[in-house]
Amino acid sequence: MSVIECNGLTKVYGGTKALNNLSFKIEENKITGLIGRNGAGKTTLLKIIAGLIKETAGELKVFSEKPFNSLQVSANVIFLHDQMNLPTALNLKELLETAASFYPNWDRELADRLLDYFSLNPLQHYNGLSKGMKSTFNMILGLSARVPLTLFDEPTSGMDAAVRKDFYRALLKDYIAYPRTIIISSHHLNEIEDLLEDILLVKEGKELHHMPVADLKEWAIGLQGNTAVIGEWTKNKEVIYTKSIGIDQSYVVVRNHFTETEGQRARNAGIDITPVTASDLCVYLTSKTKGGIDDVFNKG
Amino acid sequence: MSLTKVSLTNVVKKQYVYKLKAYSQVFMSLIFLQLLAVFFSLNGVGGMAGGDESIDVEVKYFSSDYVTAFTMLWGFITAILITTKAYRNDDFVFVTNRVSSNLSNAVFLLTASFIGGITAMLSSYLLKVIIYYFISDVPIKSTTILEAPLELLLGIFSTFLYIFLFCALGYLVGTLVQISKAFTVLLPAAFFGGLILDGLRGKSGAIAYVFEFFFTESSLPLFIVKIIVSAGLLFSGAFVLSNRLEVRA
Amino acid sequence: MMAIIPLLLTAIIIITLAILTARAVNRNVNRKGKYSYSRRVCWIFSGYVAVLLICVVLDTVHPGNIVDGWKKVDTKGLEKESIDLYDAALEGEIANIGSILRKEWSFDYHGQQLDVVVTQDEYLNASVIVERKHNNDDKIEAAFYQTRQSVNGMDITELAKPPHLEIAEDGLLLSNPKKNKIKYSEFTNVFSVKQFTGEDFFRHDSNFSGGQSILYLRIPKDLELIDKTGINLNYIEQE
């Protein structure tokens, strides 16, 4: 059963299209990474899934229902982001108690222990926390709720490296013990690569790729060598990214259709073949030009 | 993981309990406003002087009219407050939809009106005590609670209804403002414009009519019906209008 | 109606200030304390209600004021009393209404004429009605009648004093008593109660009933009264 089904989803804000004819499907009990540049539409998409805003055109169904203004969807989706409105009159302990009353799967002990582990004072109020601590609290909320569809929007913003590591580990452990559908949108793909099963890559409001992480890692290959030689080899290939190194060396990323023999021949011709990490690949795929920032400096 | 099924009543109940804590600051402003009103009432709400050739009579009147009026205004403002983004979006972190959010707000306002009604009526005793012990050097005529318990109950009930009516009005006003910022200007303009027109035209204006519709109704059952229907209409209007609102940060 | 606008505006300004203050206080409350904010609000509010309830008890318990002791009267009844008295007086039947007699005087007078003078004020508060007796017994009897006075439904007749009467030389001196002043405070019901108990909404139910006061003179048959100060003596028609 598809947890989320999306067809031709479009959302217009003012004059701009935040989402432009987006289509995808998310299956049950998978951790999917929602990757894209700032402004690609990730947060907008998550808000629509959570039922906070409505689509302008197209269709999105969560658990076979339209999420906007739906009580059933709201009960089975939790959306954690850094603009969350938590009431100022309640302290952290009371917020957790409120969550416990709303979510039947709430794990009270887990929440208390996590609160204690991350040294959050239960008597403090949410808006007195620093950015990192807010994110930490959001994480505790999201994990302990054990909601069938859990959405994290930039969950690690403000967190220091140690806490980020803990978060990924905690997420994985709880996910394995209590499987559910999770979507994480993050800028740190390199950190969460190992956590994710699928990646949904979004560029300018449209889906670019939606595939398992393992596939994405194999999707492209990096070639480095003499510019002329590289040019020869990549004449008929789909070039994703180019960068010049030194005077006559270049680094090029192309689609990986190379067989073993081809690879061997390339090496003989003096070309270095290196794998491309998913994180880098996503950056290259979503950039505006093939040359990246170098183009800014090369013109003129 | 299996899906949870929820019922509307269940969610509304949970939200109501949540809001009693989350919106608790409104009760602080209630205390503040009522004490302020008591302070204003210390100078009396009216007076009478009369007599004939043999006797001069001067009477000063005290009552908790100001406190009740302030509490009604408090209800109005509290209702507007809970429609503002900061408070309204408190629901969306947890389980909700527009209907349940509105319903739990309405129940919360009902509770607040009831509490406001009780404290407003009891504050008249506070006023009496202050006047008697600390201020007045002239004899005082008043009725104690033992002599007129029914009037106290009547007062609590009718004040509660009045406050709830103002809550309903405030809720609709707040919702309109959420829908379009233009109403922040339009509504006060319409209200004050109406008042001024009333003043020019004499007592026959629309706002004066509304005023008389409630404030001069002398039959209790009819009054109850009027308030319930009006409040119901105002709330329904707000519910319907807010159903399409998106959650903006 | 127009007078309400400045009051309304003042109220709105004050309330806005109040709300803003409350908001400001709210932000500062986000310090960790031993008790949560909503707990503290609960305590403070309970304290407030406790204070109110204590006031209710105090109000019941504290000794009554003078005003409390005044009997309640029915204002309409009073009006009727006043008219009745006046009518009866003119008929000569005032003696039948014995209960409102306040004071009686009796003077001996042997003269043929009597000046009637009002001293100190321009005229006497009471109406003067004169009855000629059937004989000349050299006695002048005077009686002062007063129907009940009330303010706001309370009987204040005891406070009204009868006029002074004095015989001197050949004149009957009448003077008004010193004016009484009453000042008190009254607690009325809230408007939301008044609209159901029939009391008026805006005007406080103020009402003052002056009562009727009559000075009834019974003079010897042939005594001539000379009105020196324009009192307006009413003589009863003798049959």
For residue A33, the model assigns a pLDDT of 94
Neighbours of C12 (CB within 10 A): 13
Cα–Cα distance, C136 to A22 (Å, whole number): 125
Cα–Cα distance, A94 to B22 (Å, whole number): 10
- If asked whether residues A58 and A20 sit together in one domain, one would say yes
Using the Cβ of C31 and the Cβ atoms of chain A, whether some distance falls under 8 Å is answered with yes
For residue C97, the model assigns a pLDDT of 57
- Among C176, C109, C108, smallest CA distance to C144 is for C176
- If asked whether residues A172 and A256 sit together in one domain, one would say no
- How many independent structural domains does chain C possess? 2
**Tokens linked to A49:** 């899934």
In Å, how far is A128's CA from the nearest CA of chain C?
6
Report yes or no: A22 and A202 within 8 Å, Cβ to Cβ: yes
Instruction: Read off the pLDDT of each residue in A171-191 and give the average, rounded to a whole number.
Output: 92
Residue ending a domain, among A169, A204, A239, is A204
**Minimum CA–CA partner of A70 in chain B:** B97
Domain range for C38:
31-62
For residue C43, the model assigns a pLDDT of 87
B209-223, C66-80, C165-179: range with lowest mean pLDDT: C66-80
Report yes or no: C92 and B165 within 8 Å, Cβ to Cβ: no
The DSSP secondary-structure symbol of C72 reads: B
Instruction: Read off the pLDDT of each residue in B68-78 and give the average, rounded to a whole number.
Output: 94
- If asked whether residues C138 and C169 sit together in one domain, one would say yes
Write out pLDDT tens, residues C39-92: 888 888 999 999 899 888 887 777 555 554 455 556 666 666 677 777 766 666
- If asked whether residues A290 and A199 sit together in one domain, one would say no
A68-77, A184-193, B100-109, C28-37: range with lowest mean pLDDT: C28-37
- If asked whether residues A196 and A115 sit together in one domain, one would say yes
Q: Does the beta-carbon distance from C37 to A127 stay under 8 Å?
A: no
Report yes or no: B75 and B167 within 8 Å, Cβ to Cβ: yes
Q: Does the beta-carbon distance from B97 to A74 stay under 8 Å?
A: yes
- If asked whether residues C52 and C133 sit together in one domain, one would say no
Which residue did the predictor score with more confidence, B55 or B216? B216
Distances (CA, A) of A241 to A249, B61, C175: 14, 87, 120
For residue C1, the model assigns a pLDDT of 45
Instruction: Decide if A211 is inside a domain.
Output: no
- If asked whether residues A279 and A187 sit together in one domain, one would say no
Q: Does the beta-carbon distance from C191 to B124 stay under 8 Å?
A: no
Instruction: Read off the pLDDT of each residue in A136-162 and give the average, rounded to a whole number.
Output: 93
Strand order across the beta sheet in which A2-13 lies: A16-27, A2-13, A57-62
pLDDT classification of A149: cutoffs 50, 70, 90: very high
Q: How many helices (H) and strands (E) does chain A have?
A: 12, 13
Cα–Cα distance, A247 to A249 (Å, whole number): 6
The pairing of strands A249-255 and A57-62 is unpaired
Using the Cβ of A93 and the Cβ atoms of chain C, whether some distance falls under 8 Å is answered with yes
- If asked whether residues A42 and A166 sit together in one domain, one would say yes
Domain range for A279:
216-298
Instruction: Read off the pLDDT of each residue in A66-95 and give the average, rounded to a whole number.
Output: 91
Instruction: Read off the pLDDT of each residue in A215-239 and give the average, rounded to a whole number.
Output: 85
Q: What is the DSSP string of chain B?
A: -PPP---HHHHHHHHHHHHHHHTTHHHHHHHHHHHHHHHHHTT-SEEEEEE-SSEEEEEEEE-SHHHHHHHHHHHHHHHHHTTSHHHHGGGGGSS--HHHHHHHHHHHHHHHHHHHHHHHHHHHHHHHHHIIIII--S-EE---TTT-HHHHHHHHHHHHHHHHHHHHHHHHHHHHHHH-TTHHHHHHHHHHHHHHHHHHH-TTSHHHHHHHHHHT---HHHHHHHHHHHHHHHHHHHHHHHTT-----
**Tokens linked to B53:** 């050739």
Model-level pTM? 0.83
Which residue did the predictor score with more confidence, B30 or C39? B30
- How many independent structural domains does chain A possess? 2
| Cβ within 8 Å of residue C89, ≥6 positions away | C127, C129, C145, C214, C216, C236
Burial (0-12, 13-18, 19+ Cβ within 10 Å), B50: middle
Using the Cβ of B158 and the Cβ atoms of chain C, whether some distance falls under 8 Å is answered with yes
For residue C2, the model assigns a pLDDT of 47
The CATH number linked to A127 is 3.40.50.300
Instruction: Read off the pLDDT of each residue in B95-109 and give the average, rounded to a whole number.
Output: 94
Instruction: Read off the pLDDT of each residue in C99-108 and give the average, rounded to a whole number.
Output: 76
Q: Looking at the predicted structure, is the pLDDT value of residue B188 above 70? A: yes
Neighbours of chain B (3+ CB pairs under 8 A): A, C
Neighbours of C202 (CB within 10 A): 8
- Facing C32 at nearest CB: one of A89, A123, A127: A123
Residue ending a domain, among A204, A236, A251, is A204
pLDDT classification of A7: cutoffs 50, 70, 90: very high
- If asked whether residues C162 and C130 sit together in one domain, one would say yes
The DSSP secondary-structure symbol of C65 reads: P
For residue A102, the model assigns a pLDDT of 94
- If asked whether residues A194 and A253 sit together in one domain, one would say no
For residue C68, the model assigns a pLDDT of 46
B84-88, B152-156, C40-44, C91-95: range with lowest mean pLDDT: C91-95
Q: Does the beta-carbon distance from C190 to B61 stay under 8 Å?
A: no
For residue B130, the model assigns a pLDDT of 81
Cα–Cα distance, A167 to A175 (Å, whole number): 12
Cα–Cα distance, A270 to A179 (Å, whole number): 48
For residue B53, the model assigns a pLDDT of 66
Which residue did the predictor score with more confidence, C186 or A143? A143
Which residue did the predictor score with more confidence, C66 or C108? C108
Q: Does the beta-carbon distance from B59 to C56 stay under 8 Å?
A: no
Burial (0-12, 13-18, 19+ Cβ within 10 Å), A197: middle
Which residue did the predictor score with more confidence, A175 or B141? A175
**Degrees, nearest 5: CA angle C88-C89-C92:** 90
Cβ contacts of B125 on chain C, cutoff 8 Å: 52, 55-56, 58-59
For residue C157, the model assigns a pLDDT of 67
Buried (b) or exposed (e) across C91-121, using 16+ Cβ within 10 A? eeebeebeebebeebeeebeeeebbbbbeee
Using the Cβ of C28 and the Cβ atoms of chain A, whether some distance falls under 8 Å is answered with no
Instruction: Decide if A26 is inside a domain.
Output: yes
Instruction: Read off the pLDDT of each residue in C228-233 and give the average, rounded to a whole number.
Output: 73
